[in-house]
Amino acid sequence: MSVLFAILFYLATLFFVVGLLSRIAIYARTPAPLKIPTTPAPTTGGGVVLRMAREVVFFESLFKANLWIWSMGWLFHASLALVLMRHLRYFTEPVWGWVALIQPFGLYAGITMLLGLCGLWVRRIFVERIRYISTPSDHLWLVLLIGIAGSGLLMQFVLHTDVIAVKSFFTGWLGFDIGQLPADPVLLLHLSLVIALLALFPVSKLLHAPGVFFSPTRNQTDNPREHRHLSGWGSKMESEN
């Protein structure tokens, strides 16, 4: 079983990295045919960087559009970031100082992460206009993430697992030295769901995470009068003529 999970994690990580990089390469090669920044838009490169930072960290456009959705979405994403940083303790020896410092905060971030996910799922079920455009995959992704968060909290507060053995397994896994993984059912469920998330991430709607950096409505400057905008094929055709 330990060997099986180690192999599955190797494959899922490979799919995740290769798939994510290939998608990012496609995004980077896709030209923007028009100058279409959402106004009011910055007119300088520095302004674009600041705007992207506000969008990525604070979800600025969502905040302006709907406070309830923003609160649930931001709660989930901020909690997820803290939970992921907390999990670095399973891959480092000795544990980095700042990772040790955030352990108590990361623990309770798992609870707020689950609350945020449940709020987003309630929105998809009970808000009519959102329910109308929701597909089965939208619900399945939320179920997958809720399963990961719920099983993690279950191990933390109810059915404890041997975290020392788990850390030993993953530190060995990083060095291609496969150790013994505890056979706790909840742990195996948690890891199975994480493997599914890693493997399917590059072909899912979750690609909005890197995709936001390539959105022309966000990453363009509002300077059409100062500089003529040409797409990739437009520049090629102009040079040929």
Which pLDDT tens digit goes with each residue over 70-128? 999 999 999 999 999 999 999 998 999 999 999 989 889 999 999 999 999 999 999 89
Does some domain include residue 39?
A: no
Does some domain include residue 29?
A: no
Does some domain include residue 75?
A: yes
The number of folded domains in the chain is 1
Does some domain include residue 30?
A: no
Reply yes or no on whether the pLDDT at 197 is more than 90.
yes
Side-chain half-sphere exposure of 102, counting CA atoms within 13 A = 17
Does some domain include residue 222?
A: no
pLDDT in tens, 39-53: 888 889 999 999 999
Does some domain include residue 9?
A: yes
pLDDT in tens, 57-69: 999 999 988 898 9
* pLDDT attached to residue 233: 59
Does some domain include residue 43?
A: no
Which residues form the domain of 188?
A: 2-23+62-209
Q: For the chain, what is the largest distance between any 2 Cα atoms, rounded to a whole number of angstroms?
A: 71
* pLDDT attached to residue 231: 66
Mean pLDDT of the chain: 90
- The 10 Å CB-count burial string (b at 16+, else e) for 202-238 is beeeebeeeebebbbebbbbbbeeeeeebeeeeeeee
Confidence of residue 189 (pLDDT cuts 50, 70, 90): very high
Q: In terms of Cα–Cα distance, which of 9, 41, 5 is closest to 222? A: 41
CATH of the domain at 106: 1.20.950.20
